[in-house]
Amino acid sequence: MKKIIIAVTFVITTLISCGKADPNQQVDEGNVKNNIYTSEEIGWSIEIPEDWTVIDKEQTKASNERGLKAIEETIDGKIDYSELRNLIGFQKNQFNLFQSTSEPYVEEYDGEWEENNEALKQIIYMTYVNNGIKTDSSATTIEKINGLDFKKFSFTIYSPNDEVILEQIMYSRFIEGYDFSVNINYNNEEDKEVMMNVWKNSRFKKSKAKKI
């Protein structure tokens, strides 16, 4: 469940910087060519929206450390996320961004991934609450992306005077031995539509996918 670091980080520390560096230097796995990111490990490709900026990997890792501390305080324990891979991430600004991660995952029993995926939603919620962030969460649903079923749930983040300041959607799937996650943050419908369009039009090699 190390991918929860990514989800929490982008709300608690919304200060990831922009950069114009080579996008291939900003991912732990995969490559970018002609504005298309491809992960060979999970057999996935997605187009980076025009005029959006690839998120700097070093800034992401630094922010992960801050998110990690908040999560460890919630669960009262340590988390080893040394195998977490930052895949492609891009942003319009600090509140409207797309991030994806993968992590090797070996099930010790059938259904373990599904159990952990549901448990992480509660951990994310409690981490927000423990940091004084008012939030609501949705029920977990299934949504198809390029014909594959993904677990989906969302959070709404409020200001102290109960105004909605951020929406967050998380998608997860167990693919070819990897826990794959996509996190979408937005504060307006226009930027949400851009991210949802490229996500829903992304492609997966069917031979790489395991049914959930």
- pLDDT, greater one: 5 or 120: 120
Supply the pLDDT for residue 56: 85
60 burial level (CB within 10 Å; 0-12, 13-18, 19+): buried
The model carries a pTM of 0.83
Supply the pLDDT for residue 15: 36
Please say whether the dihedral angle defined by the alpha carbons of residues 185, 102, 143 and 141, taken in this order, is positive or negative: negative
Supply the pLDDT for residue 166: 93
Supply the pLDDT for residue 69: 66
Of 172, 182, 176, the closest CA to residue 151 belongs to: 172
- Domain architecture of the chain: domains with CATH: 4-208 (3.40.1000.10)
Supply the pLDDT for residue 49: 97
Q: Work out the pLDDT band at 16, boundaries 50, 70, 90.
A: very low
Find where tokens 């989800």 sit.
Answer: 7
Residue 51 CA to chain centroid, in angstroms? 21
Hey, how many other C-beta atoms are within 10 angstroms of the C-beta on 141?
10
Which residues of the chain form beta strands (DSSP E)?
A: 31-33, 36-39, 44-47, 53-54, 85-93, 96-104, 134-137, 141-145, 148-158, 164-175, 178-186, 203-204
Residue 191's alpha-carbon distances to 23, 94, 194, in angstroms, are 21, 12, 5
Calculate mean pLDDT across residues 85-108.
Answer: 91
User: Contact 155/143 with Cβ under 8 angstroms?
Assistant: no
* pLDDT above 70 (res 209): no
Supply the pLDDT for residue 116: 84
Q: Establish how many alpha carbons lie within 13 A of residue 146's alpha carbon, considering only the half-sphere containing its beta carbon.
A: 19
- pLDDT, greater one: 13 or 106: 106
Percent of the chain surpassing pLDDT 70: 77
Contacts of 115 (CB under 8 A, 6+ apart): none
* pLDDT above 90 (res 84): no
